[in-house]
Amino acid sequence: MSQRLRAIDDSEKAARRQSILDAAKTLYLADTSALPSVISIARKAGLAKGTVYLYFKTKEEIFLAMLSEDYQTLMIEVIKLLDAPSSPDELVDDLLTTLIRFLDDNPLFMPLASMASPVLEQNVEIKIVGEFKLMLIDKINLIDELFRKAFPQFPEGQCGSLLLHTNALILGLWQMQNWPEKLKPLQQQYPFNTVIPDFKKDLALSLKNLWKGALNSHT
C-alpha cells in the first residue's frame, strides 16, 4: 500500500535517525512532563513504530542522544570562548553569559539532564551510556587543555573540575526551582521567594563564587 522509503546508505540512515530525533524533540518540547511515547514520535516522523527501533534500541536512547547533542553544542560554545581568551575574570563573565544563552536556546537541556541519571541511563544499553560518558569526558579534557594553554598558571584538571561543579550546580538548582506548572499558583501565593532559588540569579551568584574563588587563588 504505502511506498516504503528505504535508507540505504549511511547518510540516508543518519538523516532518518535525525528525523526521529527532531520529531522527539518537537513532542517533548510541547510537554516536558513526560517523555513522549514511541508511537507519537514515529507518527511525527512519518515512520512506523518498528522503524524507530531500527535506529534506537530503546526510547530512552533517543533522549540520551538528544541530551548528548545538547551537551556537545554547549561544549562547542565553551570552546569558542577559549579561542579568544582575555583574563580569567572576564572568562567567568563570558562563561555565564554563554551558559544562560545556551539554556534559553535549548530549553530541553535541563529537563533531559535531570532525567539522565534516574531515567535515561537506566534504560539504555551500557555500551551507549559509556560512549556518552566518554564523549563528555573527552570534551572536558579538551577544554581543560585549551584553558591551560591560555592560562598556563593553572594546574591540570582545575578547569575540568570547575566544569563538573558548574554542571552539578546547574542540575541541582534547576531541579529545585522546576516546580510543576500546576503548582505555580501556590508558588506565588506563599512567600517562597526567600526559599526557592531564583534560577538565573542564584546560578550567576554561585558560579561567580565558584569560579572566581578557584581562579583567584592562582593569580
Partner DNA sequence: CATGAATGAGATTTCATTCAT
Partner DNA sequence: TATGAATGAAATCTCATTCAT
Tell me which residues touch DNA (CB under 7 A). Answer: 2, 4-8, 13, 16, 35, 37-39, 46-51, 53-55, 57-60, 123
Of 35 and 116, which has the nearer Cβ to DNA? Answer: 35
Let me know how long the chain is: 219
Q: CA nearest 173: which of 132, 209, 215, 212? A: 209
Count of other CB atoms within 10 angstroms of residue 207: 22
Binding residue (CB under 8 A) for a second copy from 57, 96, 197, 200: 197
| Least distance from DNA to the Cβ atom of residue 1, Å | 7
Nearest to 128 by CA among 35, 54, 61: 61
- CA Rg value for the chain: 20
* Binding map of a second copy across residues 11-50, x = CB under 8 A, - = no contact: ----------------------xx----------------
188 binds, among a second copy, DNA, none (CB under 5 to 8 A by kind): none
Residue 87 interaction partner, one of a second copy, DNA, none, beta carbon < 5-8 Å per kind = none
CA-closest candidate to residue 164, choices 181, 197, 139, 188: 139
How many Å apart are CA 74 and CA 91, to the nearest integer? 15
Residues whose CB falls within 8 Å of the CB of residue 38, separated by 6 or more in sequence, listed in order: 49, 52, 53, 59
**Interface ranges with a second copy (CB under 8 A):** 33-34, 111, 114-119, 121-122, 126, 129-130, 133-134, 137, 140-141, 156-157, 160-161, 164-165, 167-173, 175-176, 178-180, 182-183, 186, 190, 192, 194-197, 202, 206, 209-210, 213
